[in-house]
Amino acid sequence: MGKLVHVNSSWTLFLDRDGVINERVFGAYILKYEDFRFKKGVLETSKELFGKFGRVIVVTNQQCVSKGLISQDSLNLLHQKMTLDFQNAGARIDQVYAAIERKDEAPFMRKPNPMMAELAQMEFPQIDFNKSIMVGDTDVDLKFGKTLGMRTVLIRSAEIITVEPDLELDQLGDLIEFI
Query: Residues 8-49: pLDDT tens digits?
Result: 999 999 999 999 999 998 888 999 999 999 999 999 999 999
Q: Give residue limits of the domains in the chain.
A: 20-178
pLDDT at 106: 78
Q: What is the pLDDT of residue 1?
A: 54
CB within 8 A of 53, min separation 6: which ones? 7, 9, 11, 12, 13
Gap between the Cα atoms of 62 and 65, Å rounded: 6
Nearest C-alpha neighbor of 178 from the set 154, 147, 143: 154
User: Catalytic residue numbers?
Assistant: 16, 18
What CA–CA distance (Å, rounded) separates 40 from 71?
28
What's this model's pTM, rounded to 2 decimal places? 0.95
CATH fold for domain 20-178: Rossmann fold (3.40.50)
The kind and range of the H/E element at 56 are: strand 55-61
